[in-house]
Amino acid sequence: MRFYTADINIGGDRNHVVTKSGITPAEIKVLQAIHGFGSVHSIKAEPSKIDRSSHAEIRDHLQKEYGRTRVDSGGDARPVLVTVFPGWPNVDMPVDAKAASIDPNLIVDDSDEPEGPKPVSRRTYWQSGEELGVTEQGDVLPEGAKPIKKADYEAILAERQAASGDDHDFTE
């Protein structure tokens, strides 16, 4: 999950600007719904801040912060989280500004994004030397890890199981 800093015109007022840091792309979308689309601007990626927060943790944070907030959408005041994320709370959170479809014109300088590892877009099985693992959507592969097919991952685990004589099933 990537984090950002943004300037927010409170209630759309250009004379009342607050800078908020450590916000997720999902929170940017919520703030846009509350204060107005163009009122969340000067969005900048925090250079070395990538977090391994799960989608559930991000949803919990949003629920705590904005769960009671309502926005007017065509005459009825609906919860902002339902308005921004139809199907709330059974939705995946966007992992970066691009996945959140945040207007690139509101982003100050996307070139500050670290060149390092990018979050994976789906569950990924990997191998690094003798180590095997699984990385969930939105998390980053460990340094040096190479993605492998699920079938290869399970075959290696089965081979290790047979070699150890252990009858425990390590596959998922």
What's the pLDDT band for 168 if we cut at 50, 70, 90? low
Which pLDDT score, from 0 to 100, does residue 44 have? Answer: 92
Which pLDDT score, from 0 to 100, does residue 41 have? Answer: 93
Q: How far is residue 158 CA from its own chain's centroid?
A: 33
What's the pLDDT band for 112 if we cut at 50, 70, 90? very low
Which pLDDT score, from 0 to 100, does residue 143 have? Answer: 83
Does residue 71 register a pLDDT over 60?
yes
Does residue 81 register a pLDDT over 90?
yes
Does residue 29 register a pLDDT over 90?
yes
How far are the Cα atoms of 5, 115, 117, 140, 151 from residue 145, in angstroms, in the given order? 30, 16, 11, 10, 17
Residue 157: which of 168, 146, 147 has the closest Cα?
168
Average pLDDT over residues 139-150: 87
H/E stretch holding 32 reads: helix 25-35
Domain map of the chain by residue range?
2-112, 124-164
Average pLDDT over residues 99-103: 91
Contacts of residue 92, Cβ cutoff 8 Å, sequence gap at least 6: 55, 137, 138
Measured between alpha carbons, how far is 55 from 114 in angstroms, rounded to an integer? 21
Which pLDDT score, from 0 to 100, does residue 116 have? Answer: 62
Does residue 76 register a pLDDT over 80?
no
- Highest-scoring range by mean pLDDT, 56-65, 109-118, 155-164: 56-65
